[in-house]
Amino acid sequence: MREAHPIERTVGMAHYVSDADGVGGRLRVAPEDFRVTELEAFDTAPVDADTGGYPHLVLRVELRNWDTNDFASELSDRLGVSRERVSWAGTKDKRAVTRQLFSVKGIDPGDLPAIDGATVEVVGRAGRPVLFGDLAGNAFEIRVRDADRPENAASVLADLRAFAAGEDGDGGDATPTLPDGERTVGVPNYFGQQRFGSRRPVTHEVGLAIARGDWEGAVLAYVGNPSEREPEATQDARAYAEETRDWAGALDRLPRSLGFERSMCHRLAESADGPGDYRAAIEELPENLQTLFVNAAQSYVFNRVLSERLARGLPFHRPVEGDVVCFSDSEAPDDLPLPDPDRTQRVDASRLRTVERHCERGRAFVTAPLVGTETELADGEQGDIERAVLADVGLAPSDFDLPGAFHSTGTRRAILLRTDLGVARQDDDLAFSFALPKGSYATVVLREFRKGDPDE
């Protein structure tokens, strides 16, 4: 087990499971290097269905170099409708070519505008909007360009195949080669760097402060907290805000591109200083961003729990006594098993072997908590890990009893991510193809191969 890159360790990903050296290389040299296609799980009626019962027009959109939120705003502006009438199934990265579902309420196909970088196909109509999570997963085709050591991919692949099977990986043969076709690999189901900010990973720090009731600390973590990865002028503006609490002065110094930070400073500059004002400043942000802060804090705790389980040598592919497992979603596609976090069971000695068999057959999954008010922690050694991590970050499940968009009841999430992975070498480039269930990160698979700075 190998220590992760320093920027990954700041968000709880302490290790790689592969001990093999990485391939290096570059991601997203062009948007076409990162292709994502949603595996759809949303039923529609015909386009000519009655608009009274089916007011939402459902679209399949291919986007090139578009942030999902930015495209939704552009689409609503061009249609002349409220941004709230546009919704989608999953948020995708900007530097990519993506195919994903959107819905727009109250429009006809003829209303759709032509937008550069977007190809729009009308799928049908629906009685409700496409909502976040209305997909089974995502299929990926990803190219790593100019790999420094492409020959290392075979050793990494062997290690990940061993981890999927619960075996000790040693890189296979002394000089392994890439096999033909797909092979099942496994990695810890970490939340990827994007969850926290690839260049400046701070969203979890904001969320942790909110959960502790430290609204001032939450503001400073977001507005202040300069990163050496940012332009020098931005670092200086953040440092000024953090050191002086002169919000009007910080507003003058922050670049226009940092709209959220500027809106918080504007609110603070207009009101008397105090805890209530700091909370009000956070609540100036869109509700989905408020929720994201708390989700990032939960994700950070989850990553920490997985890293500690790895460090202790506990299995990921099967339970130990005290674990909480969830069962598979009965409505998931046959070729993409999905965990159902609403169907859980605590594993005791009498059920251990039975649940192990379910895990072997892909019918059950060992879980760790995304902590919230209704979270029941595991027993046994896994429970010790969960309690120790929560104690270290100074939180308890009850701390997520928060106002409005910050509140979370919590859930559980599978700890092992398996996929059939295809890898092909083309000179010094490597082409990867695989599919993941919703909520899992392609970069968590690729980090094992690249073993480098996730921002490169």
- Catalytic residue numbers read 93
Query: Euclidean distance between the first and final Cα of the chain, in Å?
Result: 23
Distance CA 146, CA 423 (A): 15
Strands (E), 17-96: 34-40, 56-64, 86-88
Structure token digits, residue 196: 């926290």
User: Could you identify the residue written with the tokens 């990519």?
Assistant: 96
DSSP assignment of 298-366 equals HHHHHHHHHHHHHHHT--SSS--TT-EEEEEPTTS-TTS--EEEEEEEE--TTTHHHHHHHHHTTSEEE
The DSSP H or E segment spanning 141 is: strand 135-144
Distance CA 195, CA 371 (A): 16
Task: Give one word for 118, left, alpha or beta, with left for phi > 0 and alpha for psi -120 to 50.
Answer: beta
- Please calculate the CA angle 93-328-102 and round it to the nearest 5 degrees: 35
Q: Nearest Cα to 186, choosing from 418, 421, 435, 434?
A: 418
The amino acid at residue 318 is R
Distance CA 430, CA 433 (A): 10
Distance CA 276, CA 219 (A): 12
